[in-house]
Structure 1
Amino acid sequence: MDIEGIRSDFPILNDVIYMDSASTSLTPEPVLEAVLEYYREYNANVGRGVHRLSQIASTRYDDAHRKVARFIGARKEGLIFTKNSTEAINMVALGMGLRRGDRVVTTLLEHHSNLLPWMQLKKLGVDIGLISPEKDGLFNLSDFEYAIDDKTRVVAVTHASNVLGTISPIREISRICREKDVLLLVDGAQSTPHMRVNVRELDCDFFILSGHKMLGPTGTGVLWVKDPEAIEPLFYGGGMIEDVSTDACRLASGYERFEAGTPHIAGGIGLGRAVDYLEGVGMDALQEHEAQMTTRLLEGLLDIQGVEVYGSHDPKERIGVVSFNIEGLNPHDVALMLDDAAGIMVRSGHHCCIPLMKHLELKMGTVRASLYLYNTEEEIERLLEVVREIARTV
């Protein structure tokens, strides 16, 4: 992998060491150019015009759906562009028609975006079952066997934790769901940027990803649905129909039925270009690069007195998201120290996972370093060096 060539596409790296990609990744120059090209050269609406600019925009926007679908092993007809993964999960939670007596099973490992939409359904009388991970973030599959009963309609689980980095056994969870005739939603916001994902192999019914965590523009997300008839659209308006009368409407058969109104055209095209970029790098090479850095980061942090690392210590069981604390220090203070000392950007706090933090008894949350394709071994060593210096002062 040409790490120097990759880094040259991210000029912001000249001034900082960026280790907050689990929150939002940086955006490479080719993606920025794709967005600007839309506004400069063919700025028109999609699916609504026969003139040349509209045709170009419509083709590029449709191509972006095709690229992202191919990237996750899906067909573009079920690949819906959303404004983020939060909106995508809400579309499923509110579009399934769940009612009193139905049950949803999710976990304490979830980001609030895959927890709060389901919890709100309690107001309708929907029962919510919560599965707790072990302290290292790994699941006991028997807990899923026990939690999924004959009233369960859907299981919603993260593919990779945004706090602990641990990877969930989705295929095994899917097998349990199939045996019990239950739908499975997988939150792939953290996994898709870092590993090969194939929704057919995962055997899920809904798959979610976040564009801005995989080099795409902000305001981009994806909902993939195996069967578009499994949910009803939340939004109605232009561009989503085949016919309308004063009494009813006939919805479009493809992804358009869920994308009412003018979409984030430039964002969708930019996300397609981000997929081109990742495929150009190669997901296998990217994953190997991140695994090497994650291994070194884990080893280094575990060797520093006064530092506690959370999640599995086996790099094979996780992505490059590493949460830690320095004994006696508030994680926010540590994050500020890292920035002040070396321009190292990390996340601190609860990471939108307050129930998990309570489960782990981490009142103030953690410091989180999250790695991506543009990080280097030298940056890892610099982080470890500064953490050692901070730990010595306590």
Structure 2
Amino acid sequence: MLNEKIQEIRNKSEVYYLNTAAMSLSPPCVEKAVTKYYKERERRGPNFSEYWNKADILRELLGEKLHCSAKEIMFTQSTSMGINLVAGMIPFEPGDNVVITDIEFPSNVYPWMNLKNRGVATRFAKNKNGALGLEEIQKLCDNHTKAVSISWVQATNGYIANLKEIGSFCRERNLFRC
């Protein structure tokens, strides 16, 4: 049943919309789907097994598009919640550090700065005219760096980070990539 449902959805569309955070408008198809979901829930009550089944289908489809396993995909209420969960699960020790950029959205700053009470430093890679190069991140990483957290697209100016390059560097150093 699950595989049939995935194939049915796969055949319907080549366009996939990923929410662009709290400031974006939802496309009409998303609004329609959410309205349909709530009307059905109001009519029949909550159906948890159907909800989890749909979540599994979505994980499979996203895994294909993002070239990862469905098991690597987690849904949270917001990006802020997701970053807080990640910051709390990394096994930091006093003296460790995390590298972020100096133009990150607050949701990707405060969770890391809050680790100060656990002895973890937050280091800020400096942008150059709004752009962020790998060199700036590399300069700040040492043997105590546990994670690099950078937005793919910066909210302040729309800069698109080269995640492939940054991810390769992090994999070589065995760092968490957030």
| Shorter-chain TM-score tier | 0.7 to 0.9
What does residue 81 of structure 2 align with? 87
1:72 equivalent among 56, 63, 66: 66
Q: Which runs of 5+ in 1 are unaligned?
A: 1-20, 47-53, 186-394
**Mapping for residues 50-65 of structure 1, pairs under 5 Å:** 54=49, 56-65=50-59
Verify the 8 A CA contact 1:22 1:162 in the aligned structure 2: no
Going from structure 1 to structure 2, the CA distance change for 1:179 and 1:30 (only over 3 Å counts) comes to closer
Residue 104 of structure 1 aligns to a residue whose secondary structure is strand
**Mapping for residues 158-197 of structure 1, pairs under 5 Å:** 158-185=151-178
1:110 equivalent among 104, 109, 124: 104
Structure 2 letter corresponding to 1:146? K
Distance 2:101 2:39 in 1: 45
Cα-to-partner distance string for 1:231-288 (whole Å, 9 max, x where unaligned): xxxxxxxxxxxxxxxxxxxxxxxxxxxxxxxxxxxxxxxxxxxxxxxxxxxxxxxxxx
Bigger shift: 36-45 or 141-150?
Answer: 36-45
Verify the 8 A CA contact 1:153 1:182 in the aligned structure 2: yes
Going from structure 1 to structure 2, the CA distance change for 1:43 and 1:158 (only over 3 Å counts) comes to same
2:135 equivalent among 139, 142, 148: 142
Residue 158 of structure 2 aligns to a residue whose secondary structure is coil
Distance 2:177 2:51 in 1: 34
**Mapping for residues 305-344 of structure 1, pairs under 5 Å:** none
1:87 to partner: Cα distance: 0.2
What does residue 38 of structure 2 align with? 39
Distance 1:155 1:175 in 2: 12
Count of residues paired in the alignment = 156
Residue 143 of structure 2 aligns to a residue whose secondary structure is coil
Structure 2 letter corresponding to 1:32? E
1:124 to partner: Cα distance: 0.9
Going from structure 1 to structure 2, the CA distance change for 1:141 and 1:30 (only over 3 Å counts) comes to closer
Q: Radius of gyration: which is bigger?
A: 1
Residue 86 of structure 2 aligns to a residue whose secondary structure is helix
Alignment RMSD, CA only? 2.0
What does residue 29 of structure 2 align with? 30
Distance 2:91 2:110 in 1: 17
Structure 1 letter corresponding to 2:111? P
Structure 2 letter corresponding to 1:72? L
Distance 2:79 2:51 in 1: 24
TM-score (norm 2): 0.77
Distance 1:152 1:65 in 2: 30
Going from structure 1 to structure 2, the CA distance change for 1:71 and 1:128 (only over 3 Å counts) comes to same
Distance 2:38 2:174 in 1: 46
Residue 149 of structure 2 aligns to a residue whose secondary structure is strand
Higher relative contact order (CA 8 A, sep 6+): 1
Structure 1 letter corresponding to 2:31? L
Distance 1:174 1:66 in 2: 23
Residue 177 of structure 2 aligns to a residue whose secondary structure is strand
1:134 to partner: Cα distance: 0.4
**Mapping for residues 200-349 of structure 1, pairs under 5 Å:** none
**Identity among equivalent pairs (%):** 29
1:149 to partner: Cα distance: 0.3
Q: Which runs of 5+ in 2 are unaligned?
A: 1-19
More helix as a share of residues: 2
1:22 to partner: Cα distance: 6.8
More strand as a share of residues: 1
Verify the 8 A CA contact 1:108 1:132 in the aligned structure 2: yes
Structure 1 letter corresponding to 2:156? V
Verify the 8 A CA contact 1:38 1:57 in the aligned structure 2: no
1:23 to partner: Cα distance: 5.0
Verify the 8 A CA contact 2:21 2:79 in the aligned structure 1: no
Cα-to-partner distance string for 1:182-240 (whole Å, 9 max, x where unaligned): 2211xxxxxxxxxxxxxxxxxxxxxxxxxxxxxxxxxxxxxxxxxxxxxxxxxxxxxxx
1:178 to partner: Cα distance: 2.5
Distance 1:125 1:151 in 2: 12
1:133 to partner: Cα distance: 0.5
